[in-house]
C-alpha cells in the first residue's frame, strides 16, 4: 500500500473549477466571469504601461539577486504605508507603523492572522462579513483564530444589511477582532458609505473591537487611491489602532508577482521595534524573506512622481472601464430589454465584482445554454465584460430570468 492511500480527496476550488469548464467549452461566444483578474477591452490580460516602464527602470539599474531582509524592501514598504495611510496620518508622521512586505494580499492576511493569534491579548475570535472572500475563512482558521460572521448582505435589497451589521458588531464580545474590506467588498461589490463607516468606527470603539482592514483594491474601486483609502484613514484619524493587509495584485496588475504589505499601527517607536521583531519571528520560518522583483517594480512606481501619476491614471482607466460596463449592462437590461426585476445594484456596486442576484439554477442555465460562466452565487467579475460581449451577456441574462 502507498503511504498516501488514506488521504481523502478534497473538494475542488469553486472558482478554478469554473475556469476549467470555460476552457472545455468550444462555443465562440463563451464568456468567463469567474476569475478576479482585470481584462482589457479585448478581453486580454493587461500589463500596465507604468509597470512596463518600471520594469525597464529596474532592469537598467542592473540590481543584484541577493536576499531581501525578512521584512522585505524597506523603500517599498515605506511607500506602501504612505499610499495606504496618507502622509498626514499620525502613525506615519510619528514613525509608528510596523510594516513588512508580504506575499501579496493573501500573505499579508496570513501574517496578520498569525500575529493576532499569538499576540492579540483580548480575543481569538475574528468576525468576517457574510459573505466574504472565500479564502478568508480557511486562512484565519489555519492561523489559529476562531472564525465567526457578521451580517453584511441583504438579499432582498441586494444591498448592505447595515442594521444587521451594526447589531452583530454590537453583540460581539468586547475585544473581538473584526475584518473589514476597506473598499470594493468581495464578493458583493457593496461598500458602506462614509457616514456608515463613521458609525462602524464608533461601534468598534465602543465595543473595543480590533479592526483588521483587508485592502486588496485600493484605487481599483473608484479610480482614486485616496477615495478608496477613506475607511482606513478615517479609523486611524479616529485614534484606532489597526491592522492592514495591502495587495498590489489588482491596482498594479501584479497578480503573479505577489507584492503586498502587512502593517500594524503602534503606540511609539519602542513598541514598534518590539512588534517588528515578532513579525520577523513569524515570517522567518514560513518563507524566510519575500521575492524581489515585484517589490522593485511597485517601488519604482511609488517613488517616482512621474510614474506615480501615470499609474494613477491607468488605475482610473481600469476602474472607469469597469464602471462603463456596469452602466451598459444596466441600460441594456432595464431600457432595451425591459428585463423583469430591479437591476440598479449592477450600477451602484463598486469594484471588480457584482453580485447579480441571479440564483444558482439561473447561473447553471447561463453556463449550459449561453456559455456564460460565473460562480454559483451569481457573482460576476465585471472585468470579463467588454464592448464585444456585453450585449450578448445582457441578452443571456434576460433569457435566463424570463
Of 98-106, 197-205, 236-244, 340-348, which part binds ligand PLP (CB under 6 A)? 98-106
Q: Which is nearer to ligand PLP, 188 or 396 (CB)?
A: 188
Exactly one of 99, 249, 374, 397 binds ligand PLP (CB under 6 A); which one?
249
64 carries an active-site annotation: no
Residue 53 catalytic? Answer: no
Catalytic residue chosen out of the listed positions 53, 133, 161, 228: 133
Span from 123-131, 247-255, 305-313, 321-329 in contact with ligand PLP (CB under 6 A): 247-255
Give, as ranges, the residues between 282 and 311 that touch ligand PLP (CB under 6 A). none
- Smallest separation, CB 351 to ligand PLP (Å): 9
39, 110, 181, 296: residue in contact with ligand PLP (rule CB under 6 A): 181
| Nine-digit cell string for 252 | 498594479
Cβ neighbors of 375 (< 8 A, separation 6 or more) are: 14, 15, 18, 34, 187, 363
Least distance from C-beta 255 to ligand PLP, angstroms? 6
* Binding piece for ligand PLP, criterion CB under 6 A, among 100-108, 140-148, 265-273, 392-400: 100-108
Q: Which residue, 186 or 201, has its beta carbon nearer to ligand PLP? A: 186
Q: Does 260 bind ligand PLP (CB under 6 A)?
A: yes
Catalytic option among 53, 250, 272, 328: 250
Closest CB to ligand PLP among residues 15, 57: 15
Respond yes or no: is residue 250 known to be catalytic: yes
Q: Which residues contact 257 (CB under 8 A, 6 or more apart)?
A: 104, 248, 291, 293, 294, 297
Query: Interface mask (CB under 6 A) for ligand PLP, residues 101-140, using x and -?
Result: ---xxx--------------------------x-------
Extract the C-alpha cell encoding 247.
495587495
**By C-beta, is 54 or 249 nearer to ligand PLP?**
249
- Which residue among 161, 191, 214, 228 is the active-site one? 214
| Single residue of 247, 251, 356, 381 touching ligand PLP by CB under 6 A | 247
Q: Which is nearer to ligand PLP, 128 or 370 (CB)?
A: 128
Cβ distance to ligand PLP smaller for residue 81 or 333: 81
Position 276 contacts ligand PLP (CB under 6 A) = no
Closest to ligand PLP by CB, 143 or 247: 247
330: buried, middle or exposed (CB in 10 Å: 19+, 13-18, 0-12)? middle
Query: What are all long-range contacts of 319-326, with beta carbons under 8 Å and residues at least 24 apart?
Result: 319/219, 319/220, 319/221, 319/222, 319/223, 320/223, 321/40, 321/41, 321/383, 322/351, 322/352, 322/382, 322/383, 323/223, 325/382, 325/385, 325/386, 325/390, 326/354, 326/382
Near ligand PLP by CB under 6 A: residue from 31, 34, 36, 326: 36
Which 205-224 residues touch ligand PLP, going by CB under 6 A?
214, 216
Name the site residues for ligand PLP (rule: CB under 6 A): 36, 104-106, 133, 181, 186, 214, 216, 247, 249, 255, 260
Residues acting as catalytic residues = 133, 214, 250
Amino acid at each position: 500500500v502507498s503511504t498516501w492511500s488514506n488521504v481523502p480527496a478534497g473538494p475542488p476550488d469553486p472558482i478554478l473549477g469554473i475556469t476549467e469548464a470555460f476552457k472545455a467549452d468550444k462555443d465562440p461566444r463563451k464568456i468567463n466571469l469567474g476569475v478576479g483578474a482585470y481584462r482589457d477591452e479585448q478581453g486580454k490580460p493587461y500589463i500596465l504601461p507604468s509597470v512596463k516602464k518600471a520594469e525597464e527602470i529596474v532592469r537598467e539599474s542592473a540590481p543584484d539577486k541577493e536576499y531581501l531582509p525578512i521584512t522585505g524592501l524597506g523603500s517599498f514598504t515605506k511607500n506602501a504605508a504612505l499610499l495606504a495611510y496618507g502622509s498626514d496620518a499620525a502613525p506615519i508622521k510619528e514613525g509608528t507603523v510596523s510594516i513588512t512586505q508580504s506575499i501579496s494580499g493573501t500573505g499579508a492576511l496570513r501574517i496578520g492572522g498569525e500575529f493576532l493569534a499569538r499576540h492579540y491579548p483580548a480575543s481569538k475570535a475574528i468576525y468576517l462579513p457574510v459573505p466574504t472572500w472565500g479564502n478568508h475563512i480557511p486562512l484565519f482558521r489555519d492561523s489559529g483564530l476562531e472564525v465567526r460572521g457578521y451580517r453584511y448582505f441583504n438579499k432582498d435589497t441586494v444591498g448592505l444589511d447595515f442594521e444587521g451589521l451594526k447589531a452583530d458588531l454590537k453583540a460581539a464580545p468586547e475585544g473581538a477582532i473584526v475584518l473589514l474590506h476597506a473598499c470594493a467588498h468581495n464578493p458583493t461589490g457593496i461598500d458602506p458609505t462614509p457616514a456608515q463607516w463613521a458609525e462602524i468606527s464608533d461601534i468598534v470603539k465602543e465595543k473595543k473591537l480590533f479592526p483588521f482592514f483587508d485592502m486588496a483594491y485600493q484605487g481599483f474601486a473608484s479610480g482614486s487611491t485616496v477615495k478608496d483609502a477613506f475607511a482606513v484613514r478615517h479609523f486611524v484619524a479616529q485614534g484606532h489602532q489597526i491592522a492592514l493587509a495591502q495587495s498590489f495584485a489588482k491596482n498594479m496588475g501584479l497578480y503573479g508577482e505577489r507584492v503586498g504589505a502587512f502593517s500594524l499601527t503602534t503606540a511609539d517607536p519602542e513598541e514598534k521595534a518590539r512588534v517588528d521583531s515578532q513579525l520577523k519571528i513569524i515570517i522567518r520560518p514560513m518563507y524566510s524573506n519575500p521575492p524581489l522583483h515585484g517589490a522593485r517594480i511597485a517601488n519604482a512606481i511609488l517613488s517616482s512622481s512621474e510614474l506615480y501619476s501615470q499609474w494613477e491614471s491607468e488605475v482610473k482607466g481600469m476602474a472607469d472601464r469597469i464602471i462603463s460596463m456596469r452602466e451598459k449592462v444596466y441600460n441594456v437590461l432595464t431600457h432595451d430589454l425591459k428585463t423583469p426585476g430591479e437591476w440598479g445594484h449592477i450600477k451602484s456596486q463598486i469594484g471588480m465584482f457584482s453580485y447579480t442576484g441571479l440564483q444558482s439554477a439561473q447561473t447553471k442555465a447561463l453556463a449550459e445554454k449561453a456559455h456564460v460562466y460565473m460562480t454559483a452565487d451569481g457573482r460576476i467579475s465585471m472585468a470579463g465584460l467588454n464592448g464585444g460581449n456585453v450585449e450578448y451577456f445582457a441578452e443571456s441574462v434576460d433569457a435566463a430570468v424570463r
